[in-house]
Structure 1
């Protein structure tokens, strides 16, 4: 950030670090909660480097949830308003905002659930709004997903240039091997010389430590690991299981009356692509564990097959179906792609924009683009750089192949973070959605956005990779935008 800022004054100027090519002013804003839907919201930098007291952070066990202006019963389509009051481990009211709070409804008996949205009043109080979309007896629930203090620690880790995950290159000449650390910035700890491998990485920034004997040209494979976190013990506790994804113990049960669940008559294959980018929560809901959009009706029969079982991960692969004359290709995106436990050949990580550029003129392919988890180990500037390059290729594809259909899959929620430390989805998911919607803004009327955030939050998805029920409904949603029946 430049020294001539006049629009906002911060309590302390932060010294620029030498990895500023990767950690930019954009990251400084986004990682501090400053930027949200075009507005500056809250600045975690005012917290400074205060010591962390685990008992002083938001504690869902003491926090409360209550109905605002309760009714004897609600009707399908009504909005339930709730208030969440956060207390800390001393059972005292918090008087500042910045904690990540979530509200949703469910009815287990009907296999039904839907997500609400939350307003932070910056004083420890949060308002939750959730629309009831089916008749029955619903539970209203709330959770403290992430503490303000944990967000501040994440900001500090990235700003200081620490690695949340590590990627290593294998250099090979016949039977001689060397392994060095890699990343999207040339400033790699322990290396005075680095290989600039940006050209081999399809023009996207990538650097690896220079091997002692072999040459940069002998880079053959890539692999990853999770290093010890660069934080103090009290900071580490903020990310332990009992301090993230805490359900507020109190919940509300209420009656919802109506003859039928909420429906929209317009078939999903007839709605404009722009609608998929502009929806507001809830974008849909589960009923009998079938996903129903609030913007349209999916007219496709529920016949999705488990294609994923046939596609070896993480190598690029194609499934052919001669009976119906189609093929499904899957390929991982470019680096960073952390495949812990094994080293993969470089050809396994061809850039997304290269795959798109290779599609021929006049094709009618269905293209699905997804960037998410592997980018959460790095400041958001990196994702924005990759998305911007991808957008260029999508624009070119639509010109040479107007009948091609392009879908951008957004982030999803998950509750278990054991194998993805620092990937607190409520935090990163919001950031990634903003970047995707901003960078694809010019062509939102030509391509579709697959918004599965509500689906994964409402269903309380646990795993980093969605379960098969969700995967099936994701495929069903995708095909519903394409197929009439």
Structure 2
């Protein structure tokens, strides 16, 4: 070869070597970037697998969804958070729901419950505890071999308008027990309901941990005639989507961000609003786990694509439309799988006889109360009094300052008091659905004030200046024997990881403790969350399972404090009215009556 040939070979080899070296560098950098990105995702979103018992020990002791914001937790608070997370661990299916066919998931229509016979004299008496065994089956009628389904159980007696919630125990093998206290005489009916299958809850768990952005918010910025709207959220805005305005509260350290407007500045924010709900966040297969109506119809559509399918050989019944239509028996999915009653194997009714002894009824540590004649009877040293006349409520609240803080379920209490006390004159210039709201009876020196909690809040447009955090509001109160404070904060946190709710409650609890330390006679009432309508994709944002988990956290947070806990969950589940995010008036009346019974427990009030 000539010298020129060797020169070209050398040049080609050199170029090839440079290309290989450059490729390796890029590959290594990409690998490093992927590792760093994954680590950041674990910090930002709590990148935990749905099997909480497997993943929590590695992540949550020092976990924070906004590590760069707020005051650091003390060791005591870190331990508390770990214990709270342990308290809401939920059994997880042995294989991911994405690997299962719908026919393998829990089907309430194929499931049954059985009343366990009385072991004493084959009779049930007031004071006894009824036990019910529940057996879950899949859509093909096969027994389930693992737990994790979300079930509710209660006793109802329509003739005496009575009801009580039972405790459901998961034996982790597809079998459940329900224990229900027998508290009144007469014919009593057992009702068992499957709210969600275990496979559906696996999806809900993943959404809560991985998709806290599935409800988004907006901020409106304005200067003169120029206006811009950007997306806002709590520490869940991607930094690579642009710069962010930091609206973190200076007192509580609670974070809130909005993407910076293109032509305006962060100081130009004037309002906050709910933006909307992200769609398409689960697969079509997972969507089959969240069907309130039309499951059979969806299955029929899938079956119609099969070769050899003949509609003349098939029949079915739609529970939603009450109409017959063609359906192949093998694919008859037997109705819906959200909030469906489970039938009794034999009977669902028993006769309860008078108590065997004259001893007073012992309080049930699990059950907070029950209904009898539509009156809630709490299990605690608090006589529940019906405030059926406006004069009784007025007498109780005379010279009282009533501060109601929270979401729209607390606004219901305000609306109820306004409706039953004609002497209360409203001084509210804001939209009624948003507030703040205030009503005054100047003759009797009564003030009732409502204000919504700070973001995240899914209300219509609020002025930015009206975004207040409950902890800050409580710190601004003097308190005293004539001050009543009621708090309800739960529903708007259902789309966020549990740690976010824990942090908010911790701040509120500290403020409550400070208030009671400086004014021990202040009446403080805390309302829990309640079940609601669960239609299809509503469950992805406001599932009763989310609310149940939040309630567990709330109960633990305020345990041991001198506050009244209004168990809205049991008050709604035990009542015969359908579940609703905003409970119907009879339930609201019982809640307000319970609050008034607590506020005026040391005085005499004419309740005739």
Band of TM-score, shorter chain = 0.7 to 0.9
Q: 1:59 aligns with which of 84, 103, 107?
A: 107
- Cα distance in 2 for residues equivalent to 1:157 and 1:299: 40
Which 10-residue stretch deviates more, 227-236 or 293-302?
293-302
Query: Alpha carbons of 1:347 and 1:200: their partners in 2 closer, same or farther (altered >3 Å)?
Result: farther
Which 10-residue stretch deviates more, 21-30 or 61-70?
21-30
SS at match of 1:330: strand
Structure 1 residue 419: Cα displacement: 8.2
Partner residue, 2:594: 477
- Cα distance in 2 for residues equivalent to 1:213 and 1:368: 42
SS at match of 2:41: coil
Partner residue, 1:298: 383
Structure 1 residue 464: Cα displacement: 1.0
> Is residue 318 of structure 1 aligned with residue 369 of structure 2?
no
Q: 1:328 aligns with which of 441, 448, 472?
A: 448
- Cα distance in 1 for residues equivalent to 2:550 and 2:197: 19
- Cα distance in 2 for residues equivalent to 1:23 and 1:387: 19
Query: Alpha carbons of 1:124 and 1:211: their partners in 2 closer, same or farther (altered >3 Å)?
Result: same
Structure 1 residue 229: Cα displacement: 3.9
Partner residue, 1:349: 467
SS at match of 1:398: helix
Partner residue, 1:121: 171
Partner residue, 1:227: 278
Structure 1 residue 230: Cα displacement: 0.8
SS at match of 2:109: coil
Partner residue, 1:9: none
Structure 1 residue 186: Cα displacement: 4.7
Q: 2:417 aligns with which of 294, 307, 314?
A: 307
Which 10-residue stretch deviates more, 59-68 or 157-166?
157-166
- Cα distance in 2 for residues equivalent to 1:239 and 1:349: 34
Deviation track 1:220-277 (CA, whole Å, cap 9, x = no partner) reads 11111222141111112222212211111335111011289x99799xxxxxxxx9xx
Q: 1:75 aligns with which of 119, 125, 128?
A: 125
Q: 1:366 aligns with which of 473, 480, 484?
A: 484
Structure 1 residue 294: Cα displacement: 2.6
SS at match of 1:195: strand
Structure 1 residue 449: Cα displacement: 1.7
Query: Alpha carbons of 1:308 and 1:61: their partners in 2 closer, same or farther (altered >3 Å)?
Result: farther
> CA contact under 8 A between 1:410 and 1:433: conserved in structure 2?
yes
What's the RMSD between the two structures over aligned residues?
3.3
Deviation track 1:105-126 (CA, whole Å, cap 9, x = no partner) reads 1011211111100110000000
Q: 1:247 aligns with which of 341, 351, 355?
A: 341
- Cα distance in 1 for residues equivalent to 2:506 and 2:205: 23
Larger radius of gyration: 2
Partner residue, 1:281: 366
- Cα distance in 1 for residues equivalent to 2:451 and 2:96: 42
Which 10-residue stretch deviates more, 193-202 or 90-99?
193-202
Partner residue, 2:28: none
> CA contact under 8 A between 1:162 and 1:230: conserved in structure 2?
no
Partner residue, 2:199: 149
> CA contact under 8 A between 1:265 and 1:296: conserved in structure 2?
no
Query: Alpha carbons of 1:83 and 1:32: their partners in 2 closer, same or farther (altered >3 Å)?
Result: farther
Partner residue, 2:287: 236
Which 10-residue stretch deviates more, 152-161 or 303-312?
303-312
When the two structures are superposed, what TM-score results if normalisation uses the length of structure 2?
Answer: 0.69
- Cα distance in 1 for residues equivalent to 2:164 and 2:359: 14
Partner residue, 2:184: 134
When the two structures are superposed, what TM-score results if normalisation uses the length of structure 1?
Answer: 0.85
Query: Alpha carbons of 1:394 and 1:387: their partners in 2 closer, same or farther (altered >3 Å)?
Result: same
- Cα distance in 1 for residues equivalent to 2:250 and 2:84: 35
- Cα distance in 2 for residues equivalent to 1:226 and 1:88: 31
Number of residue-to-residue matches in the alignment: 457
If each structure's helix is expressed as a fraction of its own residues, which one has the higher value? 2
> Is residue 18 of structure 1 aligned with residue 41 of structure 2?
yes
> CA contact under 8 A between 2:217 and 2:272: conserved in structure 1?
yes
Query: Alpha carbons of 1:371 and 1:162: their partners in 2 closer, same or farther (altered >3 Å)?
Result: closer
SS at match of 2:596: helix
Query: Alpha carbons of 1:424 and 1:299: their partners in 2 closer, same or farther (altered >3 Å)?
Result: closer
> Is residue 376 of structure 1 aligned with residue 399 of structure 2?
no
> CA contact under 8 A between 2:97 and 2:199: conserved in structure 1?
no
- Cα distance in 1 for residues equivalent to 2:53 and 2:524: 27
Which 10-residue stretch deviates more, 160-169 or 369-378?
160-169
- Cα distance in 1 for residues equivalent to 2:589 and 2:497: 32
Partner residue, 2:562: 446
> CA contact under 8 A between 1:79 and 1:129: conserved in structure 2?
yes
Deviation track 1:135-162 (CA, whole Å, cap 9, x = no partner) reads 1101011111111111111222233335
Partner residue, 2:513: 395
Partner residue, 1:457: 573
Which 10-residue stretch deviates more, 104-113 or 448-457?
448-457
Query: Alpha carbons of 1:423 and 1:141: their partners in 2 closer, same or farther (altered >3 Å)?
Result: farther
> Is residue 258 of structure 1 aligned with residue 354 of structure 2?
yes
Gaps of 5+ in 1: 1-13, 267-274
- Cα distance in 2 for residues equivalent to 1:102 and 1:409: 20
Q: Note the 1:79-94 alignment, pairs <5 A.
A: 79-94=129-144
Partner residue, 1:112: 162
> CA contact under 8 A between 1:136 and 1:255: conserved in structure 2?
yes
Q: 1:101 aligns with which of 151, 159, 178?
A: 151
- Cα distance in 1 for residues equivalent to 2:92 and 2:271: 39
